[in-house]
Amino acid sequence: MSKTADFCGELRGILGGEAISADDGYRTGVAFSVRVPMERLQEVAAACNAGGFYLETITALDFKDTKELVYHFNCYEPGSRFALRVLCGHDQTPPTISTIFASAGWLEREVHEFFGIQFAGSFDLRPLLLPEDAEFHPLRKTFGIVAAYRKRDEIYA
């Protein structure tokens, strides 16, 4: 068995099998996706770190009814990339994982800057590219005129 398959089994034990969606053909660019409750994000991130996986990137999706954080992890084994998907209400504050992965601090700054998501416990959310006095978040669907602002279930039903 591969390291990724073993770790997928470990995540099934932590979160339950219904939280994991496998992509055997790697069509989505990940071996599997994991739906993680926001309150268990740090626990799962720590398991990723202990399992030898590194954090590639963090991004977000903005929907009418919620936001979704997407964390991509990988290891030095072909076909091992996977995604953690965390639903986050517009008024919720997810925990930082920068205490587990130092590189997450930079990525969380970027997500905060473009989507306006605050990370609880983050040590530095200063803007990276926007002016320091910017009071807008350009990747939010409420910024400017966007015709494709839908609920999450309308897209992923």
User: Would you tell me which CATH number, out of the four given (2.60.40.10, 3.50.50.60, 3.30.460.80, 3.20.20.70), belongs to the domain 3-156?
Assistant: 3.30.460.80
∠ CA 116-120-123 to the nearest 5 degrees?
A: 90
Q: How many CB atoms lie within 10 A of CB 57?
A: 15
The domain ranges of the chain are 3-156
Tell me what pLDDT residue 83 has: 96
Say if CB 40 and CB 59 are below 8 A apart. Answer: no
Q: What's residue 109's pLDDT?
A: 94
What's the confidence (pLDDT) of residue 72? 97
Predicted local distance difference test score (pLDDT) of residue 62: 92
Per-residue pLDDT of the chain (157 residues; tens, 9 = 90+): 588 889 989 999 999 889 999 888 888 889 899 999 999 999 999 999 999 999 999 999 999 899 999 999 999 999 899 999 999 999 999 999 999 999 999 999 999 999 999 999 888 888 878 888 888 888 888 777 666 677 888 877 6
Q: Tell me, what's the pLDDT at 115?
A: 93
87-109: b or e for each residue (b if 16 or more CB lie within 10 Å)?
bbeeeeebbbbbebbeebbebbb
Q: What pLDDT does residue 58 have?
A: 97
Tokens standing for residue 83 = 């995604």
Q: What is the pLDDT of residue 94?
A: 97
Q: Residue 146: its pLDDT value, please?
A: 66
**34, burial (CB in 10 Å: exposed 0-12, middle 13-18, buried 19+):** buried
Helix, strand or coil, per DSSP, at residue 95? strand
Supply the pLDDT for residue 57. 97
Report the first-to-last Cα separation within the chain, whole angstroms. Answer: 32
Dihedral angle of Cα 71, 146, 64, 130, to the nearest 10 degrees: 50
For residue 106, the model assigns a pLDDT of 94
